[in-house]
Amino acid sequence: MRSMPGFFLIQEAAPTLEFTAGTLVFMLAAMGAVTALAGWCFVRILKGRQHFDPDGTGPAHSPVRGTAER
């Protein structure tokens, strides 16, 4: 297969942007906020109760019979 140099695209390098103090502070604050929120969610989920028990009877008790189960 022959190479066709006319079809190669030549891109210019994008101009480099410098970090200012404000952009660095904003980036670090945003990353810190997202990390803190994710950590808070993980702690809340993993540290909570062992099971969801909305009626308060718990798994040690027999379930409360409903009117349809009689």
Q: CA dist 69 to 11, 21, 58, Å?
A: 74, 68, 19
Q: Quote the pLDDT of residue 46.
A: 84
10-residue mean pLDDT series, the chain (70 residues):
57 75 94 97 80 66 59
Task: Report if pTM > 0.85.
Answer: no
Q: What is the pLDDT of residue 49?
A: 61
Q: How confident is the model at residue 29, as a pLDDT?
A: 97
Distance of CA 24 to the CA centre of its chain: 22
Side chain identity at residue 18, one-letter code = E
For residues 42 and 48, the answer to whether their CB atoms sit within 8 Å is: no
Find the DSSP H helices in the chain.
Answer: 21-47
Q: For residues 34 and 40, what is the distance between their CA atoms, to the nearest angstrom? A: 10
